[in-house]
Amino acid sequence: MATLIVHHTIRILTLDSEEALSGQGREGDIVLQELADGWWVHFIGEDSVIDSYDAPFASYRQALGTARAAAEFSAE
């Protein structure tokens, strides 16, 4: 089950290692997902369209920091 953090009214979900991205989150959410190559930051948009950064982050801490910064920017 995904872990939920709310930062500046934006939901940030961290998926468990066995959870698939598909079907997770809702419009406006940020989803963190660990894959073999690192931590990916995904943005759930209109009609469940998923947008992601071009490359993963080396650690959860870096991915979470980026997600929090994006949440602050989105909340303004």
Q: Which sign, positive or negative, has the C-alpha torsion 34, 53, 51, 28? A: positive
Q: Side-chain half-sphere of 26: how many Cα atoms within 13 Å? A: 3
Cα–Cα separations (whole angstroms), residue 70 to 13, 34, 36: 13, 18, 24
pLDDT (0 to 100) of residue 17: 78
Query: pTM value?
Result: 0.90
Write the pLDDT tens digit of every residue in 3-43. 999 998 999 999 987 788 877 889 999 999 999 999 999 99
- Assess whether pLDDT exceeds 80 at residue 1: no
Where are any strands of DSSP class E within the chain?
3-7, 10-14, 30-35, 38-44, 50-52
Indicate the pLDDT class of residue 44, thresholds 50, 70 and 90. Answer: very high
Indicate the pLDDT class of residue 57, thresholds 50, 70 and 90. Answer: very high
- Assess whether pLDDT exceeds 80 at residue 75: no
